Amino acid sequence: MVDQSSKHETTVKVDFGGEAFLETLNNNDVEVVFINSGTDTFPIQEAAAKYQAEGKRTPKFILCPDETTAVAAAHGYFNATRKPQVVLVHVDAGTLQLSGGLHNAQRGRAGMVLCAGRAPMTFDGEMDGSRSSSIHWTQEQLDQAGSVRNFTKWDYELRRNENVHHVMQRAFQVAASEPPGPVYLMLPREVLMEKMETTQNLPTKRYAPPTTPQADAGQLKAAAKALSQAENPLIIATQSGRNQSSVQAMVELAELVGAPVISESVHLNFPTDHPLWAGIAGNQYIENADVILAIDSDVPYIPINAKPNPDAQIIHIDIDPIKQSIPMWVFPTDSLMHADSAKAIPALNEMLTEMISEADRARIEERIETIKDRHQRSRDEAVALAQEHGKQDVITPQWLSHCISEAIDDDTVVLDETVTNSGHVSTYIPRSKPGTMYRSGGSSLGWATGGALGVKMAEPDKTVVALSGDGAFIYGAPTSTLWTADVYDAPFLTVIYTNQIHNAPKASLIGGYPDSYSARTNNWVGMDLGPSVEFAMLAESCRAYGEKVEAPSEVLPALKRALERVRNGQAAVLDVRIEKP
């Protein structure tokens, strides 16, 4: 760890710009750099090689053969540590290749310092690092950062080495500030190669992210009053679980007011085995609620599917209440509070504890028992359905999800990218501990496997399981990700829900054209993924364990075999052929 107790800058001897850049990473306790290198990043790589040869501290450089792996792994690592991660790619091409993952990082609020090379500025040998290849002309764009500006919180180009410490500290500060997210920095080759004698390290505590706001006391008290008097209160949470301490506070809140909790698990916001957990949609609750509390939610409900009662009181607490990066965010609220939910929820609980009378408590307890009974019946029916499916000839997503729940323990970290099967994952794979369930937060597929790689690197003692559709698995550059997992000793299990079709577009088509030619002729143009890739063979080519599972009776034994391989240090992929929807 770097000692930051001093309030003063410290001077460090360096020989060239790449070393100065590396010093900024050391100064911020960066543990790993996810890199996909090019002809512009080599000064940083040379600095790392020099530091390693001299026994100096340097982050571990994780080579990701595809940028998709790098950005997803950084996302997963950030989720596990809450520290902004560094990704290093090459110029415009590398920047564009990570763009889908950048969308996920933006919407999943993942702090990252994304660094890309820039085509050399000089071409006649004026400086070390001048253009030496034809690509140095074709890789230069009118506005390289413009291609990602919609998705980042801040972007900049490093122009001088004298202020690299200030530029980098600004990058880390913005990336970590709530709501966290990606920033983008361009690094010209000449600057990285420029000779230097010293650089400066800043005292990072003096450049830390700002403290987060508490909710207005008056509005919070009004919210407590409304919730205490509600007949049908409802809580909707999406990203509050990023602060793991808020999970227990959310349980206390739900139990205090007797409210079901709808929770889409970008993070685990609320234990999914709790009697008050109401699933990831809960449309019936939205329509009947008289008081709705939304917490850290970009999309609290989908109006075309379910709308609150016009007379319902809607309260929204969010670290990003105005959603400036979402142009048409027009959900109505009666009280919109800018606050850190990890501070606001405990304060709300204190107010409710003082406010709720004995008569209120009796009424609330009666409501809780009603909700518990309803949810228990629903769970019992779901389990019975899955067990019945286990007797069929084909594997259903319900049976597969039920078996996964049987195979893993409470500490296993699950990353879900099963898309149209996410409802089954939520129903059948309960998660109760904070930090044991993640989704990307965005809609660019190919995240789960790289995310699992990052989580495993951050928490090497944890068992990590990525759940993916077959389309999403292909998007995730599996050869790159599995190769990286093997080389850097970060084994995890991937379970593929192989239904051999892009089911989300199919469902959208059916919704838009109920009486479609596609359905009548069973011709799903541009959606059919059959015949499927032999994913087990692909895994084996990357030195991972691979197995194809086609019978319901083989699902649980295969899961146990694969998990044993993971525990013994080998990544594993189960290609489970589920029924085609």
Looking at residue 178, its pLDDT comes to 96
Q: How far apart are CA 336 and CA 320, in angstroms?
A: 10
In order of 118, 131, 194, 199, the CA distances from 124 in angstroms are 17, 8, 16, 28
Alpha-carbon Rg for the chain in angstroms? 25
Looking at residue 437, its pLDDT comes to 97
Looking at residue 39, its pLDDT comes to 84
Looking at residue 122, its pLDDT comes to 75
Looking at residue 244, its pLDDT comes to 93
Task: Please state whether 310 falls in left (phi above 0), alpha (psi between -120 and 50) or beta.
Answer: alpha
Token pair in block for residue 84: 């902004």
pTM for the whole thing?
A: 0.95
CATH of domain 217-374: 3.40.50.1220
Q: How far apart are CA 200 and CA 209, in angstroms?
A: 20
b/e burial code for range 22-32 (CB count within 10 A of at least 16 → b) = bbbbbbbebeb
The tens digit of pLDDT for each residue in 414-472 reads 999 999 999 999 999 999 999 999 999 999 999 999 999 999 999 999 999 999 999 99
Candidates 69, 14, 73; CA nearest to 44 is 14
Q: Give 236's strand partners.
A: 262, 294
CATH of domain 10-207: 3.40.50.970
Of all helices (H) and strands (E), which one includes residue 62? Answer: strand 60-63
Mean pLDDT across the chain = 94
Domain-wise residue ranges, the chain: 10-207, 217-374, 390-577
The tens digit of pLDDT for each residue in 52-80 reads 999 999 999 999 999 999 999 999 999 99
Looking at residue 207, its pLDDT comes to 93
Q: Which amino acid is present at 376?
A: Q
Q: How far apart are CA 209 and CA 27, in angstroms?
A: 16
Candidates 70, 178, 193, 74; CA nearest to 129 is 193
Residue 8 CB-half CA count within 13 A: 3
Residue that is written with structure tokens 């009378």 in the block? 357
Q: How far apart are CA 321 and CA 280, in angstroms?
A: 21
Q: Quick one: fold of 390-577?
A: Rossmann fold (3.40.50)
Domain 10-207 and domain 217-374, same fold? Reply is yes
The runs of H, that is alpha helices, within 177-216 are: 189-193
Candidates 90, 185, 67, 71; CA nearest to 140 is 90
Q: Which amino acid is present at 165?
A: H
What percent of the chain has a predicted confidence (pLDDT) above 70? 99
Q: For 500-527, what is the mean pLDDT?
A: 93
